[in-house]
Amino acid sequence: MKKLVSALLIMAMGVTMLTGCGKSNKLTVEEGKLIMGTNAEFPPYEYHEGDQIVGIDAEIAAAIAEEMGLELVIEDMAFDSIIGAVTAGKVDMGLAGMTVTEDRLKNVNFSDTYAHASQVVIVKEGSVIDSVDALTGKTIGVQLGTTGDIYAEDIEGATLERYNKGFEAVQSLLTDKIDAVIIDEQPAKTFVSQNEGLVILDEKFTEEDYAAAISKNNEALLAEVNKALAKLKDSGKLDEIVAKYIKED
């Protein structure tokens, strides 16, 4: 009897160890895949080209997945849903030209940064708005939930119009529904180059850095992503990807 009990105990321990192991070994949401949550309304970082999502982040994610021997899956969603998708374990990482902020760090971990960025102001050519100070009391378009949205709240007397897509804010500016758009510099340059009569103010609104958002419950994935990012930086691959999408002017 004693023997039987100890044999059962040992078996039970074995099972717990195995399942326990199984859990901690689970690096990603779906084995063999790296699921990236993004908002593909943000050229040149992520945007639609035909039925594909392309851009700097898409290529960085593909390179990270390759380093890790995983298949990349891209899930497009509203920008303000990405952090929730990461914390709920629906995606492995948010990669969306996402700025590291103190507030977001309360909910997710951020990888090492991979790009420097800033919020800039787009106005119509000949606008009276010629500096950040001149935004006081104006109507400003932003993309919902972005740092442009968050930081523009501090502009005195300003009215914020929040759009699901940055490009919708630009359209509103073109039709004089708003006075200015605050958005990240690279998408701003893309939108301005695609539309007549818009300019970007020389004075920047903020300085920021982009990183991948990863669940606080997955330190192992954070370490792997950082390792892969470091390799991409060292090998020059990261610069190569950026240069393909951003032509220095």
**Bridge-based pairing state of the strands 139-143 and 159-163:** parallel
Q: Which is nearer to ligand ARG, 99 or 109 (CB)?
A: 99
Alpha-carbon 152 to chain mean position: 19
Q: Count H helices, E strands: the chain?
A: 9, 14
Supply the minimum distance, in Å, between the C-beta of residue 214 and ligand ARG.
15
Tokens in use for 32? 């063999």
Nearer to ligand ARG, 39 or 218 (CB): 39
Shortest gap between Cβ of 240 and ligand ARG (angstroms)?
21
Task: Name the residue nearer to ligand ARG (CB basis): 77 or 220.
Answer: 77
- Shortest Å, Cβ 238 to ligand ARG: 18
- Count of other CB atoms within 10 angstroms of residue 70: 20
Least distance from ligand ARG to the Cβ atom of residue 114, Å: 13
Question: In the bound complex, what is the minimum distance in angstroms from residue 150's beta carbon to ligand ARG?
Answer: 7
Cβ distance to ligand ARG smaller for residue 41 or 75: 41
Q: Least separation, in Å, of the C-beta of 73 and ligand ARG? A: 17
Nearer to ligand ARG, 206 or 215 (CB): 206
Minimum CB distance to ligand ARG smaller for 112 or for 130 = 112
| Contact (Cβ atoms closer than 8 angstroms) between residue 120 and residue 201 | yes
Q: Which residue has the tokens 């630009």?
A: 170
What is the torsional sign of CA 147, 150, 152, 154? negative
User: Within the chain, where are the H helices?
Assistant: 2-25, 56-68, 82-87, 102-105, 147-152, 166-174, 185-194, 219-235, 237-245
Give dist(CA 188, CA 166) in Å, integer: 9
Q: Which residues bind ligand ARG (CB under 6 A)?
A: 38-39, 41-42, 46, 79, 96-99, 143, 146-147, 184
Within 8 A by CB and 6+ apart from 42, the residues are 55, 79, 96, 97, 166, 184, 187
